[in-house]
A = this chain, B = another copy of it.
């Protein structure tokens, strides 16, 4: 529902989504400003990405005078969930614990991560 068509959002498009999740609605120019700080894109590129996102129904437009204001149509949470699940399914046979175990073994977990996870766990099991 939050992802009507299930169309995939590409890496570059995702950067644009992040801008819109941070603040919206925004005009194309504003999105470009926000995004150009990290990626070095030209305004033209940002406009293309916005069009594609609109086509994918991931972003909605609302006319303001003669311009458009763009806003996300899919929630960040839903996107994160989809991507996370896809990874867990593809690489760890759907087991989130598998992913966790892997991160643990690879020592990819900081002490802060461990503390935070421990407290979340406690929450969940209470």
Contacts and interface: CB of A to CB of B under 8 A. Distances in A.
A14 B88 CA distance: 14
Most buried by B among A85, A97, A105, A106: A97
A1 interface: no
Interface in A63-101: 77, 80-81, 83-85, 87-88, 90-92, 95-97, 99-101
A23 interface: no
Contacts of A109: 96-97, 124
A55 interface: no
Interface in A30-74: none
B91 A117 contact: no
Interface string A90-123: 1110011101111111101110111011101100
Contact of A124 (B11, B90, B92, B104): B104
Contacts of A118: 121, 125
A100 B100 CA distance: 8
19 contacts: A77-B102, A77-B105, A81-B102, A81-B106, A81-B108, A84-B108, A85-B108, A88-B103, A88-B108, A95-B113, A96-B110, A97-B109, A97-B114, A97-B116, A100-B113, A114-B121, A114-B124, A117-B121, A121-B121
